[in-house]
Amino acid sequence: MSQLRIEQPQDDAALEHWQHVHNEIVPTAVLSLEDVRERAGRNHLEVAYLGEVVVGCTTVRPPEGEQDVVTVIARVLPGYRGRGFGAELYARGLGRAREMGGGAVETVVLASNEGGLRFAERHGFVEVERYVLPGDTIPFVTLRLP
């Protein structure tokens, strides 16, 4: 069995891999490649591969303004869940968050992603907010490590 390989995207092909995972897991907030390029300029993005197959991605948002919060989001495609990939991606994201120096750590999960919510709760996150983006009907859930 191949080892999980996690890399920061260095070109459009890798950014498209990140985009694919994001758009499949968050279909209510589809991102264009230009959107992903912009995010890569302000956030730390990584893509996870099993051999040459894309299986997941992460986003780590640094603290902004007065908020001392780093957001860590780990996403694993449905066919690859339950193998520990999410835990590995989350651990890497949490390590990056510590390097960024934020005080609190949050994650954001689409409310319809019940597996993602259970994963966050199993890793100690507690729900602090729900919000719906303009034009959407499914809320996003913000969870925070106590």
| Whole-number pLDDT of residue 67 | 77
pLDDT tens digits for 34-63?
999 999 999 999 999 999 999 999 999 999
pLDDT tens digits for 11-23?
999 999 999 999 9
Helix segments in the chain, DSSP class H: 12-25, 33-42, 85-100, 114-122
| Whole-number pLDDT of residue 1 | 43
b/e sequence 101-129, b meaning 16+ C-beta within 10 Å: ebeebbbbbbbebeebbebbeebebeeee
Residue 2: is its pLDDT beyond 60?
A: no
- Amino acid present at 78: P
Are the beta carbons of 102 and 49 closer than 8 angstroms? no
Q: What is the pTM of this model?
A: 0.93
CA distance 93 to 105: 10
Are the beta carbons of 84 and 51 closer than 8 angstroms? no
| Whole-number pLDDT of residue 103 | 82
Instruction: Give mean pLDDT, residues 68-84.
Output: 95
Q: Are strands 69-76 and 104-110 parallel, antiparallel or unpaired?
A: parallel
- Fold held by 4-144: Aminopeptidase (3.40.630)
Are the beta carbons of 61 and 40 closer than 8 angstroms? no
CA distance 48 to 100: 21
